[in-house]
């Protein structure tokens, strides 16, 4: 019996060490060496302090900031509760949520870019489309007492192109746009 169990237990320990410890440590080391910012969570640093991540949205509710997508991840953009809403097109809860979001903007839902009314698959998406940012530009310009042209220029500057020019759609990171908006207002 011991002759049968010994090879099995030896392989169990060996593969546990290999796949549970050695491989993750090696991949972490490679990630830190080749992509240190991404491997650390893409932190956004201001005045020596980490203020957020370029990968996780943040909740903005004041009228003088751009608003991101609604989050399905619990209270705000809680990365520990990352998930989609799993609400289908016939869901009354989804219809009620869309109506409530549309009321925030003060116009019918049909006039609002869809990503401002619905959450992303993870519930943490920090990006909106340039169209969604331009849609909010008049409200932000009025609240900040800035020209609409300066706000539009800021959006253009912060619009990220598709990856390699072909993967995905143009997008705007709401948190980074709002940080730039604060810099513009202070300047």
Q: What is the pLDDT of residues 72-97, one digit of tens each?
A: 776 667 777 676 667 788 889 888 88
Angle at 69 between CA 111 and CA 141, to 5 degrees: 65
Q: What is the pLDDT of residue 37?
A: 85
Helix ranges, 106-162 (H): 130-144, 148-157
**pTM of the predicted protein model:** 0.78
**Is the pLDDT assigned to residue 26 strictly greater than 90?**
yes
Q: What is the pLDDT of residue 187?
A: 60
Average pLDDT, the chain: 88
Rounded to whole angstroms, the Cα distance separating 126 from 151 reads 19
Q: Confidence band (pLDDT; 50, 70, 90) for 172? A: very high
Rounded to whole angstroms, the Cα distance separating 118 from 33 reads 37
Lowest mean pLDDT among 43-52, 106-115, 174-183: 43-52
**pLDDT single digits (tens) 116-161:** 998 877 778 899 999 999 999 999 999 999 999 999 999 999 999 9
């Amino acid at each position: 019996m011991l002759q049968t169990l010994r090879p099995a237990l030896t392989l169990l320990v060996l593969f546990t060490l290999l796949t549970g410890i050695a491989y993750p440590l090696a991949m972490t080391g490679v990630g830190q060496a080749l992509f240190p910012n991404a491997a650390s969570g893409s932190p956004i640093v201001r005045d020596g302090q980490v203020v957020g991540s370029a990968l996780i949205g943040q909740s903005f509710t004041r009228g003088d900031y751009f608003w991101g997508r609604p989050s399905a991840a619990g209270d705000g953009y809680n990365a520990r509760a990352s998930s989609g809403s799993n609400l289908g097109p016939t869901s009354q809860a989804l219809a009620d949520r869309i109506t409530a979001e549309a009321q925030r903007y003060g116009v019918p839902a049909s006039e609002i870019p869809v990503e401002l009314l619905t959450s992303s698959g993870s519930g943490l998406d920090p990006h909106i489309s340039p169209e969604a940012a331009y849609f909010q530009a008049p409200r932000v310009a009025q609240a900040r007492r800035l020209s609409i042209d300066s706000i539009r220029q800021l959006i253009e500057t912060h619009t990220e192109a598709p990856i390699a020019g072909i993967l995905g759609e143009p997008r705007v990171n709401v948190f980074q746009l709002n940080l730039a908006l604060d810099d513009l207002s202070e300047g």
